[in-house]
A and B are shown apart, each in its own frame.
Chain A
Amino acid sequence: MAKKLMKGCEAIAEAAIQAGCRYFFGYPITPQNDIPEYMSRRMPQVGGCFLQAESELAAINMVYGAGGAGARAMTSSSSPGISLKQEGISTCAAAEVPCVIVNMMRGGPGLGNIQASQGDYFQAVKGGGHGDYRCVVYAPSSIQETCDLMPRAFDTADKYRTPVIILADGLIGQMMEPVELKMNPNPTMPEKPWACQGWDPKGDRPRAVINSLYIETEVLDDLMTRLNARYDEIRKNEIMVETYKTEGAEFILCAYGTVARVCKAAVRILEEQGIKCGLVRPITLWPFPTQAVHDAIAQESVQGALTVEISNGQMVEDIRLAVNGEKPVEFMGKGGSIIPTAEEIAERVMKIMRRA
């Protein structure tokens, strides 16, 4: 398909449909309203189902139902709404129900504001809901990348039978960019023999059961062992990271999502000042690209690193864990949805390097 000018929310919704998503359940909240709005128009055209649920809880539990029946199901929301969905996400993880959850992050905590934020990193990456589970978390930094990640998100969800989160900030949802969507009128779906699709008593398939209640300690432990083995597989196979001008750099910036683009602009400014600065951009926040981050920052030429976020410092903890004290890692960022400018970031780097 030729390039179109699309808003992030619209593009994500269309990319999900092209990835075979036929069930969308949502509830309105800014800045992601354009996703359910788009889905409400498009789903009937492709024989899918759009349903505005009565609440976020209802929406995620509908996803649980559709995903448990083997369909590619998705819900989307923004920070406060994602908080409401956590119980359902935990349930999906425990019941091994594949699904995709889009979070267009806005300012928090509480109702916060409606501008772009990255305050939900901990929630997405470190759990969110109760229990010992993980979600695969993708953090796109452009609308094109978001579209390209959607089929991958659904594939990963199906392959590992796990919830997958697209963690984008409100800007990704609200800005418009040229995108090329890969149209796929007949997306192929993997076989899902475990799905509840009706049981034939005369057939040889055992009954499919979707459940998150495991009363016996050993039975729950079996599940956790199985999930953990799967999480190890995900760590081994699914890490995505972009490194930009990191080789032989004197300084490394770390950022994800929209901020990574501001950081690229900062790299350019610093280049003009004669400073070799690189950028590490995790694309999967879980599994975290620990090795790539370590390798970029711990190299001999590097003096230090700066993590930039639209938060008061969340991913910086994982960056520091990855670097393990081998180089100093500083943090720059603010709550309240204040996005640092490229000039401010460059200035901060120069200060740290004692060049200004």
Chain B
Amino acid sequence: MKQYWVLLGSFGSGKSELVLNLALEKAKEGPCTVVDLDVINPYFRVSERGDVLEPAGVELIMPPFALDKIEILSLSPRVYSAFNPGEGSVFFDIGGDDIGSVALGQYRPRFDAIPRENLHVLFVVNPLRPTAADPESARATLDKIQYVSRMEVNGIVNNANLAGETQVEHLVQGYELVRELSRQTGIPVWGSCGTAPVLESFKQYAARHGLDQAYVGRYQPIEVMMHRSWDKFLKEGL
């Protein structure tokens, strides 16, 4: 039975990056599809990384407008093929906030037909974004997104990051936020994300300070793929 992953969250919380990383992981185990349902962003969308997804055997379903440099907010009829019975994993990358989540509403009957244990609806949180800086605003976004997307979130993801300047304290800040959000909503924490070195420091920090594993979840390493090519060279920045 196919496993379905829907990534929701505030605008700029890092959903596309997480989708890329999880899809590449799952593609090693079986068929894998990424559905780009982002109807908001003209740039920096998961479809741009067809160059890493397709060689890894990941099927990419993108809106007809993506990469065509035009704006027609229509979604590909191929999206429905992702709900066909079968094996493997399907990832839905959704535009940010409640506005982006609107794209999901029309697929409600399809999602309803998926057994709960096969449907992972993750809410990605980055407290370094001004729109999700505290539990109250994260909670408000979560409520709005659930309402508009007609989906029930069943996992919270700590994706605290400041792009290339992420430090372990940012993940700790994220931990505190998702713990509070999880306590308030009863939704479990799915995991904590970071680049390998930051994640390793966080792991040590968690052990040293006895962080509650229930609010840390799994450690999900992230390889940054949504970068701009010149970033790789610029040590001193601007």
Residues of A that sit less than 8 Å from B by CB? 3-7, 10, 14, 30-31, 107, 113-116, 141-142, 144-145, 170-171, 174-178, 261-262, 264-265, 268-269, 337, 341-342
State the CA gap A6–B126 with chains docked (Å): 11
Given contacts A4-B128, A114-B70, A342-B230, is CB(A142)–CB(B43) below 8 Å? Answer: no
Q: B194-238, CB under 8 A of A: which get 1 and which 0?
A: 000000000000000000000000000000000011101110011
| Residues A265 and B233 in contact, CB atoms below 8 Å apart | yes
- Complex-state Cα separation, A174 to B164, whole angstroms: 17
Q: Chain A residues near B238: list those with CB within 8 A.
A: 141-142, 144-145, 261, 264
Whether B71 lies near A5 (C-beta < 8 A) is no
Main secondary structure of the interface of B (DSSP, over half): loop
A interface, over-half SS: mixed
- In the complex, per-residue mask of B109-143: 1 if CB is within 8 Å of any chain A CB, else 0: 00000000000000000101110010000000000
Contact A114:B71 (CB < 8 A) given known A5-B12, A174-B43: yes
If A3-B165, A114-B69, A261-B238 touch, whether A31 touches B43 (CB-CB below 8 Å) is yes
Does B52 have its Cβ within 8 Å of any Cβ on chain A? Answer: no
Closest chain-B Cβ to A263's Cβ sits at a distance in Å of 9
B161 to A262, Cβ gap below 8 A? Answer: no
7 shortest interchain CB distances as A-B pairs:
A265-B233, A113-B69, A265-B230, A174-B43, A178-B162, A5-B128, A262-B230
A308 to chain B, nearest CB (A): 12
Q: Which residues of B contact A (CB under 8 A)?
A: 11-12, 41-44, 69-71, 126, 128-130, 133, 161-165, 228-230, 232-234, 237-238
Cβ–Cβ < 8 Å partners of B162 in chain A: 3-5, 178
**A265 with B232: in contact, given A114-B70, A174-B43, A337-B69 (CB under 8 Å)?**
yes
Partner of A4, one of B44, B129, B230, B234: B129
Kindly list chain A residues whose C-beta atoms are within 8 Å of the C-beta of B12.
Answer: 5-7, 176
- B130-A4 in contact (CB<8A): yes
Question: Within 8 Å CB of B232, what residues of A?
Answer: 265
Q: Chain A residues with Cβ under 8 A from B163's Cβ?
A: 5, 176-178
A144, A171, A265: residue with the most chain B Cβ atoms closer than 10 Å: A265
Residue in contact with B234 in the complex, picked from A144, A145, A264, CB distance below 8 Å: A264
Do A175 and B43 touch (CB < 8 A)? Answer: yes
- Smallest distance from the beta carbon of A214 to chain B beta carbons, Å? 42
A23 CB → nearest B CB, Å = 22
Kindly report which residue of chain B lies nearest to residue A173, judged by CB atoms: B43
Docked-complex contact B43 and A265, CB < 8 angstroms: no
Of all chain A residues, which has the CB nearest B133? A4
- CB-based A-B contact count at 8 angstroms: 85
* A171-B43 in contact given A4-B129, A7-B12, A262-B230 (Cβ < 8 Å): yes
Name which residue of chain A comes closest to B160, CB basis.
Answer: A5
- A337: B residues at CB distance < 8 A: 69
Bound complex: CA A341 to CA B230 (Å):
8
Instruction: Say whether B43 contacts A6, CB under 8 Å.
Output: no
> What are 8 of the A-B contact pairs (CB < 8 Å)?
A3-B162, A5-B162, A7-B12, A114-B42, A261-B234, A264-B230, A264-B238, A342-B233
In whole angstroms, how far apart are the Cα atoms of A127 and B228 in the complex? 32
In the bound complex, residues from chain B placing their C-beta under 8 Å from that of A114 are 42, 69-71
Q: How far is the CB of A39 from chain B (nearest CB, A)?
A: 14
Contact A6 B71 (CB under 8 A): no
- A5 to B167 CA separation, bound complex (whole angstroms): 13
> Which one of B41, B71, B126, B233 has the greatest number of beta carbons of chain A within 10 Å?
B233
The answer on a CB contact under 8 Å between A174 and B233 is no
**B234/A115 in contact, CB under 8 A:** no
Chain B CB within 10 A, most for which of A7, A116, A170 = A7
Q: Which residues does chain A contribute within 8 Å of B237, judged by CB atoms?
A: 142
User: 20 other contacts beyond A170-B43, A261-B238, with CB at 8 A cut-off?
Assistant: A3-B165, A4-B128, A5-B128, A6-B12, A6-B129, A113-B69, A114-B42, A114-B69, A116-B43, A141-B238, A142-B238, A171-B43, A176-B12, A178-B164, A178-B165, A262-B230, A264-B234, A265-B232, A269-B233, A342-B233
